[in-house]
Amino acid sequence: MKKILVLVGILFLLPTMSMAEHIWVGLFSKETPYSSQTFISNKKLKNLNRLIEKEWENGFLITDIQYGDNIWTATLSKGTTYTHQVYIKKRVWKEFETAIAHHTKEGFSLVDVEYGDGTWVAILVKGVPYKEVTYDAIRYWDDFQVTVDKRWKEGYKLIDVEPADGLWVGIFAKNTGYKEQAYDRLDDWKGVDEIIKKRWKDGFRLSRIEYGDGQWFCLFVQDDKKKGESYSQNEEIETFSQTISKHWKKGFHMIDMAEGRR
The answer to whether residue 32 sits within a structural domain is yes
Mean pLDDT in the chain? Answer: 91
Can you say whether the dihedral through the CA atoms of 261, 227, 62, 167 is positive or negative?
negative
Q: Phi-psi bin for 132: left (phi > 0), alpha (psi -120 to 50), beta?
A: left
| Interval 43-85: pLDDT, tens | 999 999 999 999 999 999 999 999 999 999 999 999 999 999 9
Strand order in the sheet with 205-212: 180-186, 215-222, 205-212
Taking residues 238-256, report their average pLDDT.
97
Give percent above pLDDT 90 in the chain.
Answer: 88
Give the DSSP per-residue string, 69-81. Answer: TTEEEEEEEES-S
The answer to whether residue 174 sits within a structural domain is yes
Taking residues 82-97, report their average pLDDT.
97
pLDDT at 92: 97
Strand order in the sheet with 71-78: 36-42, 71-78, 61-68
Separation of CA 7 from chain center: 39
Judged against a pLDDT cut of 90, whether residue 12 lies above it is answered with no
Q: How confident is the model at residue 21 (pLDDT cuts 50, 70, 90)?
A: confident
pLDDT at 13: 43
The answer to whether residue 105 sits within a structural domain is yes
Pairing between β-strand 180-186 and β-strand 167-174 as defined by DSSP bridges = unpaired
All residues at 6 or more sequence positions from 104 whose CB lies less than 8 Å from its CB, including other chains: 110, 124
Separation of CA 49 from chain center: 18
The answer to whether residue 51 sits within a structural domain is yes
The answer to whether residue 35 sits within a structural domain is yes
Beta bridge partners, 122, equal: 88, 113
Identify the H or E element spanning 182: strand 180-186
The answer to whether residue 81 sits within a structural domain is yes
User: Rounded to whole angstroms, how far apart are CA atoms 172 and 10?
Assistant: 47
Give percent above pLDDT 70 in the chain.
Answer: 92
CA distances to 94, 134, 147, 168, 183 from 143, in Å: 20, 17, 6, 9, 15
- Select from 210, 128, 140, 218 the least CA-distant residue to 181: 218
Pairing between β-strand 84-90 and β-strand 119-126 as defined by DSSP bridges = antiparallel
Domain count, the chain: 1
Range of the domain at 71: 25-261
Strand order in the sheet with 119-126: 84-90, 119-126, 109-116
The answer to whether residue 190 sits within a structural domain is yes
The answer to whether residue 20 sits within a structural domain is no
Q: How confident is the model at residue 14 (pLDDT cuts 50, 70, 90)?
A: very low
Judged against a pLDDT cut of 50, whether residue 8 lies above it is answered with no
Strand order in the sheet with 253-261: 229-234, 22-29, 253-261
